[in-house]
Each structure stands twice: as structure tokens, then as C-alpha cells.
Amino acid sequence: MVIPDHADPAGRLIVSRVSLRDFRSYARLDLALRPGIVLVVGPNGAGKTNLLESLHVGTQGFSPRTRVESQLVRFGTEGCRIALHGRRASGVPVDVEVVLRRGEGRRSRLNGAPLQAVEELRRELATLVFTPDRLAVVKGGPLVRRAYFDRTLARLFPARAELSPGYGAALTQRNAALRRVSLGLSTREALAPWTERVVDLGRELVLARRDAVELLSPVFGERASQLGLAAARLAYDGSPPTEEALAARLERDLERGTTGLGPHLDDVSVTAGTRELRLFGSQGEQRLAVLSLLLAEAGLIAERTGEPPLLLLDDVLSELDPDRRRSLAERLRGTGQTLITATSASALPVEADQVLDVTPGLVQERA
């Protein structure tokens, strides 16, 4: 089966071929993908999540479900290979190859040129993923949300991507200095440069996060309402740290050896009307909120870069009622390319642009 490259006039990156060797359950897989909604179907354990994972590794350089790369290599084999071919609106073809060998790490190439770091791939190609674990973004603790919104911030404002790791490093240094002071190994004066850095980077980070949340919130609300979740919004919960506030709690901080205020303790509230979805959202509402966040970010990235990200939606359809499945499918129609999994094709109430059955021994495209 030969499907031509889809150079899309709207400026989207479309992956048209994926080829896997010894990746997870796939000894060998060669698929042609179409733009639009690609419904990946098969029974439990068929390899649907594996296929989405391979596209994430191929476009982002890492797996969304494990940091242990050797898990990606098919049992009993020594290495795996993922190759993707796609094309941008500009006509520029995109070829990616990622090869992992047990114990040797990874080699990756973009259009034939070896990449030094995975980050290079991430800068070139945008992919957003929903997995059931992502529900933690709404229902988990503040730590999960901070990490999620910091990644979003990095994607929306690449120039400010280093603020979060920079602040984290400054905080670690200040905490170490606090412990040295309380052990009598250092003077209080020695804290000053670290406090200043925590305040400076902390302020920048809070401002960047607020900007990201303000940019996302209205689009998030709009997507959520289209999916049937009314009056949803985001709000940043925290304010920039100041020297005065840190000075006021210095004794407590010295005692505990940690900095007790700053963006490392802030949160983002996700609400629908007056309800905090973390505490009072139903499972389905929490799922809709996570999806709406993803769609909001996808829309913003598309607006800013001219290229909607590739969307990988694993297990989103379960727990959504038929009306909401339909609204979601209608939303996805307008974007570049979305792979969405289901155990049966009937889970999607509208016609997909392509249905791929990944049942072992039967990988094929259904008419």
C-alpha cells in the first residue's frame, strides 16, 4: 500500500510512514498513516499503546511511559529501530531514525544528520500525548501539576524553558547553604547570594507560569465547554518570592533546612464553576479537563508555530459518553493528525480518516 506524502496547506506536519523493528511487541511493522483522525484498534494487549509510544519516541526522543529504555526493546532481541517519514507544509520532508541497543543507549538521526541530544528532536517536532496516567495532572498533587505546566510553559515560551530547571538548581544550592549554616559550617552572610538567586529566578518563573496559565485558561475553557464541561478555568496559585518574605521565615527555614516559600510550592487550580476538579470532579470530568488542556495547548502551539502538534490519545474514549466522544472527534477533525486508540472501531461515533487494526497477525488497514 502506497500513500503519498501529505503536504498539508494548513502547515501541519503529517507522519506518513512508520517502520518498527523489534520495538516492544512488534518484531516488524511497516505502516502508512493518513492525516486527520487515525483510529488504532485491537483487543487488550494487541499493541495499540506500543504503537503510540513508538511515535512519541520517534518524535520526542523518549517514551512517555518509561525512562528505562531497554524496556522498549522486544524481549529476546538486542536492539530496536523506529523510523518515521513525514512532510511539512513547506514541503520539507522529515525523516527520523531512532536506534536503541541494549546497554549502548541510543542513536538518532534527523534527515540523515546524527543528533547529539534528544532535545534537538523535541525542538523540531511537537507531539502531545494523553495516557490514563495523565489524569494525575488534574487529580494528583501540586507536584504533578507544576511539572506538567512547566513543560507546557517550555513548549509555549521556548526562550523561558530554562527558568524552571534554573530555579530548581538555585533552590537546591540555597537549601544546602541553609543546612551548612545550621550545622555551624558557614555564616548567614554566605546565604545571601543564593537567596538573591532564588528570589530573581523565582520571580521570573512565577511570571512565566502566570503568563502560560493566562494564555491557556480561556482556550482551555472554550475546549472544555465544547466537550461538555462548563465554566472551566485555570488560575495560578502563588506569588513571586521576595527577600523580605524569605528573611521573615529564615529561622524556620534554617531549622528545617529547606526553603519554605516560592514557586516550588505553588499550584495551578483547575476549576469548573466553583468546583475544584481535583477534589470534586468526576472521573469523566477529570478526563475531559486533561483533554481540554491538551487541546488548548495544541491550539496555541499551532497558532504560534503554524504547525499543530501530532496528538497521541491513548484510552481517551473509555469513560466518555457518546455525545462527548462525538464532540471530541469533531474537535480533532480540524487539527493535523491524531492517533487515537480504542478496543473497537465503534468506540468513535464519527468516521475516522483511517482505521488501523493492530491485532497480532492481522495488522491491516480497514476500508
Ligand X SMILES: Nc1ncnc2c1ncn2[C@@H]1O[C@H](COP(=O)(O)OP(=O)(O)OP(=O)(O)O)[C@@H](O)[C@H]1O
What lies within 8 Å, CB to CB, of 31 at 6+ separation is 17, 18, 19, 51, 356, 363
> What residues pair up with 94 in beta bridges, in sequence order?
86
Q: Which of 49, 338 has the CB closer to Mg ion?
A: 49
Q: Which of 96, 340 has the CB closer to Mg ion?
A: 340
d(CA 309, CA 301): 7
- Residues found near Mg ion in the complex (CB under 5 A): 48-49
Q: Which does 46 bind (CB under 5 to 8 A by kind): Mg ion, ligand X, none?
A: ligand X
42 binds ligand X (CB under 6 A): yes
Q: Which of 25, 173 has the CB closer to ligand X?
A: 25
Residue choice 6, 48, 324, 331 for contact with ligand X (CB under 6 A)? 48
Q: Which of 73, 138 has the CB closer to ligand X?
A: 73
Question: Minimum distance between the CB of residue 104 and ligand X, rounded to whole angstroms?
Answer: 16
> What residues pair up with 73 in beta bridges, in sequence order?
23
Question: Minimum distance between the CB of residue 132 and ligand X, rounded to whole angstroms?
Answer: 9
Question: Minimum distance between the CB of residue 364 and ligand X, rounded to whole angstroms?
Answer: 15
Question: Minimum distance between the CB of residue 316 and ligand X, rounded to whole angstroms?
Answer: 12
Question: Minimum distance between the CB of residue 185 and ligand X, rounded to whole angstroms?
Answer: 48
346 binds ligand X (CB under 6 A): no
Q: Which of 29, 83 has the CB closer to ligand X?
A: 29
Binding-site string for ligand X from residue 50 to residue 89, where x marks contact by CB under 6 A and - marks none: x--------------------x-xxx--------------
333 alpha-carbon distance from chain centroid:
20
Note the residues at the interface with ligand X (CB under 6 A).
24-25, 42, 44-50, 71, 73-75, 343
